[in-house]
Each structure stands twice: as C-alpha cells, then as structure tokens.
Amino acid sequence: MKNLLIISFLTLFTLSACAQDHRQNEQTLALLNSIASGTVLLNNQNNTIPLTGLDRKHVASVSLGYTQQQTFDSLLNKYTKVTSFSAASYAQNTALNTLEDDLKYFNTVVVTLPSVSAGDTRNTRFILNLAKSKQVVLALFGEGRSLAMLDSLQAPIIWTDQNTPLAASIVPQVIFGGIGVSKKLAISYSSKYTAGSGFSTVATRLKYTLPEDALVNADNLREIDAIAEEAIRAKAAPGMVVLAVRDGKVIFNKAYGNHTYGGIPEKVSDIFDLASVTKTTATTPAVMRLYEEHKLNLDTNVGAYIPRARALPMNNIQVREVMLHQAGFIPYIPFHDFVTPADHSSDSSAAFPTKVADGYYIRKDYFKEVMWPKMLNAPIKTRGQYVYSDISMYVMKDIVERISETPLNDYVAENFYKPLGMQTAGFLPRNRFPREQIVPTENDTYFRKTLLEGYVHDQGAALVGGVSGHAGLFASANDLAIIYQMLLNKGSYGGQQYFEPRTVEMFTAKQSAVSRRGLGFDRWDPVVSKQYPSELASPQTYGHTGYTGTCVWVDPARQLVYIFLSNRVNPTVTDKLGNMKIRGRIQDVLNRAIDKGL
C-alpha cells in the first residue's frame, strides 16, 4: 500500500508523466474517492468554502509541522497564487511570532496541521490570533480527537483522518471547489463538533485527477506520447505541453521535449506565446462582456466607435462582419517591412519608448502615425466573403478600449484572468516572470535580430508594444484550461457567472452563412475532407489555433477541453506540425478514448 501511495503521488502531482496504467489507476482512484468521501467540512456557516473572490485574495499556506506540504501547496497553486511558509524554518523560540509577522501582507491563510501538533497550545494560539484579522482556513490531518482542541475556532476546518500524499492532494481541491464534500461527523468529539456536524459543497472549479475518474481508460491515452515524440524527432517543434479536461476534470497534463532543441526541459507550468489564440482568450471575451452590458452593438457600424474610420470605406462595416472575418479586410500587412533605421533604436528614451524586443525600441507614435493609417486606408476587397484577417482584431481591440476606456491588457486581467485565478495569462510576460519560465519562439534573424524570449512573435503585435487584439497573449496550459472550462460551463466558474449562457452559446455557435465561423471563435469544418480541427471532432467543437503552434478546442458533445501548446517557430518557422497533423491526431486520441470509455 505504501508503494502504491508513492507511485500515485508521483504520477498525479509531479505532472512530469501522465498515468498510463489503467489497473493501477483504478486502485488509486478508489483510495482518492475514499478520502474525498470521508473528508468533513466544519465551521462553514458563512459559505467561506469554496474560496471565492480570488482577485481580492492574497493567499499564504502555512505548515505547522505538516510533512506533505509540497504536495498540498502544488495543488493550491493550480487555483491561485499561493506563497508557502513553514514554522519549521523559523528559530524555535520565536518561530510563530515571527511567522505571524511575516504574514502581514496576506489576507487569507491556509494552515495545515497534523493531529499530532494540535495538542500544542502554541499552534492553536497562533491559529486563533491569525483568525482575528485574517480569513483562515484550517486543514487538519489525522485523529478526529484533535478537533476538541479547536472548539473556540470559528474559521472553516477541513478534516480528514488520513495523512498521506493522496490526502494532501484532496483537501486543497475541497478548499477551492475542485471537489465537493458532504460527509458529516460520525461521532461527537466535543460539545461543538458533535455527531452529524458538517457542511456540504459542490464542485465549482477544475478537479485534478486520473483519467478513470472521467470514465477514460488511461491505457488508451498512450498514443499521445508517441505522437509528441514523433513531432519532436521530426523537428516539428522542440517541445510541447498537452492538457485535457473531461467533465471538468483534468485527466492529462504532460510536457514533452525542451524549450529549444537541446535546451531547458519543458514543464507543464511553462508560459507560451499563444499567437492567434489571443483572439478568443482576450479580445473576444472582452467583446462578449461589452455586448452583454449593452455597450457594444454587433450590428452597429465601425465608424460609430472609431472616429478616424468615419470618412473611410471601413465606416459602414458592421462589427458583426469584423468578428466573422467578413469585413473585406486584407489578411495581413507586413508592418515590419516599413520600419526604417530612423524608426527604431537599440536603447529606450522618450523618443523611442516602445520595447519590441531586447535591444529594440520603436519610436513614439509609430502605431498612430504608420500602422493604424495603413489599416484604416487598406482596400476593402472581399466584403461579405470569409477572408481571415488579423486586421479585424486590431479593429476590435480599438473598439473595446474606446468603449471600456481601459487598455485591453488591463481589461481582461481585471475582468477575467484575476477573478478566475489565472496566474500566468496576460500580455508582456517579461514584466512579470523570469525568462526561464517563458518558452522562446523564433530566433529572429531578419527583423529584431535576437532570440525572442517573452516578446510576442507576431511582428505587428510587437511593433505596438506587445499588446494587440490578434496576438500578444501568453499563458500556461492550466490557465487556458480554466477560462475554456468556464466557457464550456456556459459562463460559470468558481461560483461566479462571467457570462450569461446565451451569450456563450451565440458567440461559439456557427454564425456565418459563408463560413464555419462563430463570432470570434473558429469552429469544426463541415467539409469532411478537411478533418478540421480533427477527424473525430464533433460538429459542436469551437476554439482557435495559433501561428506559433498552439490550439485550444472545446467539444461540448464530449465535455472536452483540449489544449496543445508548442513553439513550432523555433528556431525558425516550419510547417511540419501542420503537415503531420500533430494537433489533430492527439485530439483524436482523446476523442477515441472518451468514446470508448473504460
């Protein structure tokens, strides 16, 4: 049993390998379910658990002698940013006082306490002191008799009689709503914690588990490894991360290869340049929110929102046409070809404030004076036809910012990413993360003359400073899983309603008479020979791909969220990822496994 627990821990939560032993998984899942069904939530009369309002929380995790803290904290950090503390790392005579002082910047503290430490009055005094000024959640592991020491605590307690790595993986998910609980105390432990005590919760966020928990046989996922390794051998991309969610449960999350050929090993927490996945993860959600607030009308002309367009052919184009790529815009303008030596500098200054890459700064107002006029004055050639165009999302970004009076990067961070608990998603990642966490894209030898690390690959997005409507967003696979699960949930996640169900249904459904497209979203193609996005994808499937080698697809028929992140443009652009149909083949491994079941 001990060996099984160790293996299960390594399988589930290092996430460097994905469980692929069906029989063993069934045994582990039985243990996980037993722990979850036996976990009791106490003192939750204020509905504190599951935690909500993540954008307003600064969360610390404090170990009071708990030996499974690494596992515990790794799960907490899948839901929101959590800073770890351990009483053991402080000088013994002043440990808890100093620790309490170090928690002054946190308003929410999750305390882990093994039952053997509950009898220490210093620990209980510390917990009670914290609870006077902060939101405290106590995770108690071991003997139920230790509850009697906590009668005076009003803060929520999550108690399990298990003290194993698997228990350490369950309780954090209860705290954040990945797992719901309903167990009541079977016996009385004190005058407060009596038989029948306990509160019930329901799952509201992603659960991190084994494939079998979502009725998928892990053995049927083995081919994903082979396809990923085939891609790397063929140099279709130096590395990739694959994540799959089924029924709100993360059942596969694995990293392959390296950041660059022979470079840093890939991690599931790495941050990728999403390229055009920006369109559906930033710009389109912003449009959806403003539409829902009746601030943006899809059937109003562009000129009503963009003053400079009013005397130009773009004026009469409807916003709906822009979102469907039917506005008649040309597909692409190679803005970097128009940059002259006088337009850029190797150092920043008031005259050259916009950073495009390391050692490359563009002059002030370059977008306003060069790029925007070229887009506004570009010929309208194919209005009413489907012509995929990046210009559409430059236009939508400008409309969003005018209506919201907020830069797009700030708008999506405040309205979606922060409250959802997305930690990496955002523009300009080099301002927030070390470059080692960001997967490099192209070794640009023709424009910026450097390896692009944390600067957007798309040249136009780079020239506007890294924040654009069509590209510029970076994120990890887990962050994408959160926001697309919210969409699959018809706008609901973590106990909060981000969109009305009908809004999600409208934008993600087929809305064009001349193409497969939704509003902003790409969709399954009815032309069978295209096998897009994959051979077995259902007609309900929606999502988007990105030039850098990324994709996100949501299949409501299978309750599947599929994420593939890579940097296929490293060290230089190659079409092998598409020609080998790597993304679609992996998607179909998941589709077949779901359809086959256990």
Q: What angle do the packed helices 165-176 and 2-13 form, to 10 degrees?
A: 40
Predicted structure pTM score: 0.96
pLDDT of 7 strictly over 70 = no
pLDDT of 76 strictly over 60 = yes
Q: What does the pLDDT look like over 36-56, one tens digit per residue?
A: 999 999 999 999 999 999 999
Q: What does the pLDDT look like over 364-383, one tens digit per residue?
A: 999 999 999 999 999 999 99
Q: Write down the pLDDT at residue 19.
A: 54
What percentage of the chain has pLDDT greater than the value 70? 97
| Confidence bin at 1 (pLDDT 50/70/90) | very low
Q: Give the C-alpha separation, 443 to 260, whole Å.
A: 10
pLDDT of 455 strictly over 80 = yes
CB atoms within 10 A of CB 127: 24
Q: Write down the pLDDT at residue 90.
A: 87
Residue range 9-26: mean pLDDT, rounded? 61
pLDDT of 187 strictly over 80 = yes
Q: Write down the pLDDT at residue 207.
A: 98
As a whole number, the mean pLDDT across the chain is 95
Residue range 324-342: mean pLDDT, rounded? 96
- On whether the CB atoms of residues 54 and 104 are closer than 8 A, the answer is no
Q: Write down the pLDDT at residue 2.
A: 45
Q: Write down the pLDDT at residue 94.
A: 80
Q: Write down the pLDDT at residue 95.
A: 85
Which of the residue ranges 83-92, 106-115, 457-466 would you say has the lowest mean pLDDT?
A: 83-92
Q: Write down the pLDDT at residue 18.
A: 53
Residue range 197-225: mean pLDDT, rounded? 97
In a 13 Å sphere around the CA of 322, the CA atoms on its Cβ side amount to 31
| Confidence bin at 92 (pLDDT 50/70/90) | confident
Q: Write down the pLDDT at residue 5.
A: 46
Q: Give the C-alpha separation, 330 to 389, whole Å.
A: 6
CA distances from 177 to 180, 209, 253, 598 (A): 6, 14, 20, 26
Nearest to 129 by CA among 147, 148, 111, 116: 111
Q: Write down the pLDDT at residue 175.
A: 98
pLDDT of 8 strictly over 70 = no
The DSSP annotation for 149-181 comes to: GGTT--S-EEEES--SHHHHHHHHHHHHTSS--
| Confidence bin at 93 (pLDDT 50/70/90) | confident
Give 119 or 582, the one with higher predicted confidence: 582
pLDDT of 10 strictly over 70 = no
pLDDT of 3 strictly over 70 = no
| Sign of the torsion formed by the C-alpha atoms of 16, 427, 556 and 565 | negative
Q: Give the C-alpha separation, 104 to 137, whole Å.
A: 16
| Confidence bin at 104 (pLDDT 50/70/90) | very high
| Confidence bin at 20 (pLDDT 50/70/90) | low
Residue range 79-106: mean pLDDT, rounded? 92
Tokens standing for residue 405: 């009076």
Which of the residue ranges 6-20, 61-75, 106-120 would you say has the lowest mean pLDDT?
A: 6-20
CATH for 38-205 is 3.40.50.1700
